[in-house]
Structure 1
Amino acid sequence: MLTLSRAKFAASAARGRHFPGHWPLLAVIALALSGCMPATTQVAAADPADPAARVAPVGYRSAIAPYTSLRPATPAPWRARNDAVTPQPKQDR
């Protein structure tokens, strides 16, 4: 595959065109080389091994704090619950 790629590049260079259909290959090379670049931002100014370093306070929030149990609940009579949600009949009909 590398030989075929070199042959296509040589043929396109002979015609005066540079990188005609090699943009995926160039993108892969650029991506691979970007992994070799050093980080430009500092992660932390303090030494993580320093026991006197200031850190953010730790807090606790329960994930189920607003939960309230609804059991056991005594069911209402089904007739009253059904009548409460049915639409009322219109008087003009």
Structure 2
Amino acid sequence: MLTLTGAKSAAASAARGRRFRFHWPLLAATALALSGCVPATTQVAGADPADPATKVARAGYHSTIAPYTSLRPATPAPWRERNENVAPQPKQDR
């Protein structure tokens, strides 16, 4: 359809005696339409990904919650004892 529009425009310009002007939007639309004809995959480097004999790295599984340990239910400790365990130690030089 775009080519037909370009051809009509060229014919109309020729009939009026003017030289055909180049239409950039028409060129862009044509390039976009023709880009669908290009193969989707091109081999840049390495082996063909569709080849079943190609060697690939093994897929590994690492759990994201492996180091997790549940803290519930926890037995409550006296608050003063817990506070002293995490408080900074007093300096000895004073």
**Shorter-chain TM-score category?**
0.3 to 0.5
TM, length-normalised to structure 2 = 0.40
Which one has more relative contact order, counting CA pairs under 8 Å at least 6 apart?
Answer: 2
